[in-house]
Chain A
Amino acid sequence: MTEPSDPRADLQGQYAGFVSRLVATLVDFGIITAVNVVLAWAAIELLAYVGADVRDCPDLESKTPIVAVLCHGAVVVAMLVGTWGPVLYALFFWSTTGQTPGKAMMGIRVVRLDGKPMGLWTTVRRVAGYGLSLAAFGIGFLVILADDRRQGWHDKIAGTCVIYSWKARQNTGLVGRARGLFRSA
């Protein structure tokens, strides 16, 4: 069955495109950043309360070893959360519902190409592929624009795709204006 060509057609269940996925990723990035900032601010304030400065943690041999442990521990936790937080975030949401909060907001869902539930192993492969796409200066994401199934490298690696979960439709006014622009150009 081919994809509908009518701009007013219902696109629910069809492959989701690059822009929707990019916006969803930006929303998720914003959420993760906001959570990190709040946690970091809370940690800094707590340490300041006990007399420690995270920019200049006291030595373990200092007069207040407990404060030194707390300060160094906080820095380590912050690094771990900053590094693995997004990974855990993606692992949890993709493996459970297939939708991160950003994807839910944009009405898209990650599913397996064979229709089976995502599962942890598929999710891990997808996260790894995500890292690879990112490491290749984002080329792995840009291939979504040209792929027949709108799959990025991470989708190819994990055997997944992203579909519209809402009764997606195009904005006919915007389509009309874009057509007019292309015609005049």
Chain B
Amino acid sequence: MSEDDEATPVEKDAPDATATLLRLLVCGAVEGTDLVLRLLTPSPEPDVDDSEKPGVEKDTAATLARQALIGLLFEAYGAASRGASTAGRVAATAGRFWGSVLEPVARSRTLAPMRLPYDLLVEIGSRELHRWARIGRAEEERSREVAGRIARIPVDDIVAYLRDNPEMEELVRRQAESLIDDLADDPRLAEVIREQGDRYIEHLQENSEAIRALVQSQSAGLASEVADSVRERTVTADTLLERFVRSVLRRRPRETLDGPPPEVRDLAEHPRRRTGD
């Protein structure tokens, strides 16, 4: 097994909330330390080669020490986890063994006066443990809520700040204009547009009949739509004006009158049909 393949003591036990928390803490500490060191260290001379800098070797040693510390931390956590697990198993086995061995003694009348204070002690201990668990549960939930609130608020604030900031708007505008200028002067884009244009023209030439038919049908459709709209209005005016006149003249409403006979109505659709002479 190579050195790279070697897993950390807690890596195999995923998902492990404690290990994740530990990693977060380590990450925060490492990143924070790096940031502080970068801010405190003066920037190097540009003409000096990296291999000649005295700080490089020092940095490597510091990095090694830091990584060793992190490794130790995880090793200790892994060992503690394994130890706690083993201790728990041993304690349970011992408890079962000694419980069965000492049961006759513990239940004897001789030790009865001592059992009462012992049970009381156990009960108090148990009650206290449950109280701590309750507090833990409540605090955990409260902590999650606070963490969620903190994670959300800054993002909203940043978005609002960027949205309302005139400097940011100016920056975006300047960048967009610069991009448009670049695109306008870009010969590659001009070539792409020319190629696309040629392709469209070729397509139009190849399908000229279909396109002509399409344009004609569109024009006819538009004209028909306009004509229908005008007709609808005049038909409505026919009805309204006639209704008014007939009501003034006290004549029967049109709805109560007979329409044209069927042979006349047929002529609406078939004007040349002969119905006999």
Question: Is B238 touching A109 in the complex (CB atoms < 8 A)?
Answer: no
Q: Does B15 contact A (CB under 8 A)?
A: no
Instruction: Output the residue of B249, B264, B266, B274 with the most chain A CB within 10 A.
Output: B264
Q: Which residues of B contact A15 (CB under 8 A)?
A: 259-260
Q: How far is the CA of A14 from the CA of B268 in the complex (A)?
A: 9
Partner of A17, one of B241, B272, B274: B241
Q: Does B236 contact A (CB under 8 A)?
A: yes
**A interface, by DSSP: helix, strand, loop or mixed?**
loop
Question: Is B227 touching A19 in the complex (CB atoms < 8 A)?
Answer: no
Q: Which residues of B contact A16 (CB under 8 A)?
A: 238
Partner of A19, one of B237, B259, B263, B264: B237
Partner of B271, one of A7, A12, A97, A171: A97
Question: Is A117 touching B245 in the complex (CB atoms < 8 A)?
Answer: no
Instruction: Output the residue of B237, B238, B271 with the most chain A CB within 10 A.
Output: B238
Q: Chain A residue with minimal CB distance to B234?
A: A20
Once A17-B241, A20-B238, A164-B268 are accepted as A-B contacts, the answer to whether A170 and B231 lie under 8 Å apart by CB is no
Once A1-B259, A169-B232 are accepted as A-B contacts, the answer to whether A105 and B241 lie under 8 Å apart by CB is no
Q: Which residues of B contact A140 (CB under 8 A)?
A: none
**B interface, by DSSP: helix, strand, loop or mixed?**
helix
Partner of B267, one of A5, A109, A145, A146: A109
Q: How far is the CA of A145 from the CA of B235 in the complex (A)?
A: 13
Q: Which residues of B contact A163 (CB under 8 A)?
A: 260, 264-265, 267-268
Q: Does A107 contact B (CB under 8 A)?
A: yes
Question: Is B241 touching A20 in the complex (CB atoms < 8 A)?
Answer: no
Interface size, B (range):
35 or more
Q: Does A111 contact B (CB under 8 A)?
A: yes
Once A13-B259, A18-B241, A145-B241 are accepted as A-B contacts, the answer to whether A107 and B271 lie under 8 Å apart by CB is no
Once A20-B235, A116-B277 are accepted as A-B contacts, the answer to whether A111 and B249 lie under 8 Å apart by CB is no
Q: How far is the CA of A150 from the CA of B237 in the complex (A)?
A: 14
Question: Is B241 touching A19 in the complex (CB atoms < 8 A)?
Answer: yes
Q: How far is the CA of A97 from the CA of B272 in the complex (A)?
A: 8
A119 smallest CB distance to B (angstroms) = 9
A182 smallest CB distance to B (angstroms) = 9
Question: Is A17 touching B265 in the complex (CB atoms < 8 A)?
Answer: no
A120 smallest CB distance to B (angstroms) = 14
Q: How far is the CA of A168 from the CA of B266 in the complex (A)?
A: 14
Once A109-B267, A116-B274 are accepted as A-B contacts, the answer to whether A170 and B241 lie under 8 Å apart by CB is no
Question: Is A115 touching B232 in the complex (CB atoms < 8 A)?
Answer: no
Q: How far is the CA of A72 from the CA of B256 in the complex (A)?
A: 59
Q: Which residues of A contact B255 (CB under 8 A)?
A: 2-5
Q: Does B240 contact A (CB under 8 A)?
A: yes
The 5 closest A-B pairs by CB, nearest first: A17-B238, A13-B265, A115-B263, A5-B255, A19-B237
B interface residues with partner A (beta carbon < 8 Å): 227-228, 230-242, 245-246, 249, 251-252, 254-261, 263-269, 271-272, 274-277
A interface residues with partner B (beta carbon < 8 Å): 1-5, 7, 11-20, 23, 97-99, 105-107, 109, 111-117, 145-146, 148-150, 161, 163-166, 168-171, 174-175, 178
